[in-house]
Amino acid sequence: MSESRRNVRALACTVLEKSLSSLAPVDPILASFDHGLEERDRRLLHQMVYGVLRWLRRIDYILGEAASRRLDEIDRDLQYPLRIGVYQLVFLDRVPAHAAVSESVNLARKRTHRGGAGFVNAILRRVAAAPTLEDWPVKVEDAVTRIGIETSHPNSLIAGWIRQYGERQAELLAAANNCPKPMHLLSFADRGGRDSLSADLEKEGLISEVSSISPMGLIVRRGNPLETEAFRKGDFYIQDEASQFAALIPSPCDGETVFDAAASPGGKSLSLLATGVDARIVCADVGPARIGPLLANLQRLDREIPVVVMDVRQRAIGSAFKRVIVDLPCSGTGTLRKHPELKWRVSRQELERLSVESLALLDSAAELVEPGGILAAITCSLEDTENEAVAERFLKKHRAFSPLDLGEVLPPPSQDYVQGPGLWRILTGGDHDGFTVQVFGRSPASA
Instruction: Quickly list H helices, 275-333.
Output: 288-300
pLDDT in tens, 361-414: 999 999 999 999 999 999 999 999 999 999 999 999 999 999 999 987 888 888
CA angle 12, 50, 241 (to 5 degrees): 150
Q: Residue 3's pLDDT is what?
A: 47
**E strand or H helix at 306:** none
Task: Give 23's pLDDT tier (boundaries 50, 70, 90).
Answer: confident
CA-based max dimension of the chain: 77
| Domains in the chain, CATH or no CATH each | 3-135 (1.10.940.10), 143-176 (no CATH), 184-238 (3.30.70.1170), 241-442 (3.40.50.150)
**For residue 168, which of 440, 398, 429 has the smallest C-alpha distance?**
429
Contact 186, 236 (CB under 8 A): yes
| Residue of 128 and 22 predicted with greater confidence | 128
pLDDT in tens, 177-229: 999 899 999 999 999 999 999 999 999 999 999 999 999 999 999 999 999 99
Q: Residue 95's pLDDT is what?
A: 84
Task: Give 447's pLDDT tier (boundaries 50, 70, 90).
Answer: low
Instruction: Tally Cβ neighbours within 10 Å of residue 145.
Output: 14
**For residue 12, which of 30, 32, 27, 25 has the smallest C-alpha distance?**
30
Report the share of the chain in percent with pLDDT over 70.
98
Q: Residue 6's pLDDT is what?
A: 54
pLDDT in tens, 90-112: 999 888 898 899 999 999 888 87
**For residue 264, which of 230, 305, 319, 234 has the smallest C-alpha distance?**
305
Q: What is the mean pLDDT of residues 429-443?
A: 97
Contact 12, 49 (CB under 8 A): yes
Q: Residue 414's pLDDT is what?
A: 87
Task: Give 350's pLDDT tier (boundaries 50, 70, 90).
Answer: very high
Q: Residue 189's pLDDT is what?
A: 97
Q: Residue 1's pLDDT is what?
A: 44
The b/e string for 269-288 (b: 16+ C-beta within 10 A; e otherwise) is bbbbbbbebebebbbbbbee
Q: Does the pLDDT of residue 343 top 70, yes or no?
A: yes
Report the share of the chain in percent with pLDDT over 90.
82
Distance CA 375, CA 52 (A): 40
Percent helix, strand and coil across the chain, each to the nearest 5:
50, 15, 35
- Beta-bridged to residue 344, according to DSSP, are none
Distance CA 382, CA 365 (A): 22
Distance CA 437, CA 434 (A): 10
- Beta-bridged to residue 257, according to DSSP, are 280
